[in-house]
Chain A
Amino acid sequence: DTEVTQTPKHLVMGMTNKKSLKCEQHMGHRAMYWYKQKAKKPPELMFVYSYEKLSINESVPSRFSPECPNSSLLNLHLHALQPEDSALYLCASSQDSLRGNQPQHFGDGTRLSIL
């Protein structure tokens, strides 16, 4: 069982919809990450939160809006997405984003389909 929980597991939405992806961890980690993974490709980093502050935005379009309400929760708000945004969205957490000997732990992802 994964220690990083993502909901929903699947999401289908139209291009005009607004939806949110949620991620939760209870390992006491202070760094949380959003990745996008297209089929047959490795994950691509989107955002990093460190101690509840956004520390990295990998030039992600503004139709993706992250939020970290507290140290255990991470949201990704979606609005006006494009068909090419269809992908598996993975959340991960680690003890600290500046300590490499604390590996990232991944959730099972949300499979997003844009109609």
Chain B
Amino acid sequence: AQSVTQPDIHITVSEGASLELRCNYSYGATPYLFWYVQSPGQGLQLLLKYFSGDTLVQGIKGFEAEFKRSQSSFNLRKPSVHWSDAAEYFCAVGPNTGFQKLVFGTGTRLLVSP
């Protein structure tokens, strides 16, 4: 069965500092991987996705993520955080065949300090 682990419940980063949010997955093959962001009172917005090919993927809002098969990880990064990035971030895994049921991690809440 697929599973996703986001080990950090909360992370606080100073504005302008770099950010890395961790995501580890468990899946028998290479899954489809996603990062979503949820601002308070909003739905989930897709930041980026990985299906195959280049292991470094670029997303919206200056985010990027790197797929590392050997570590079963798909960590999200941003070189300089803005106050508006404060939100909940969810990593999700989907199978590469069959019905696309997303398995979400428990989320990481990002706080941005001045």
Contact = CB atoms under 8 A, between A and B. Distances in A.
Interface of A: 2, 4, 6, 31, 40-43, 45, 48, 55-56, 90, 92, 94, 97-109, 111
A41 B43 contact: no
Interface in B55-106: 90, 94-102, 104-106
Contacts of B46: 103-105
A109 B44 CA distance: 9
B27 to A, nearest CB: 12
Main secondary structure of the interface of A (DSSP, over half): loop
A55 B95 CA distance: 17
Given A100-B51, A101-B51, A103-B34, A42 B43 contact: no
Given A2-B43, A100-B95, A41 B106 contact: yes
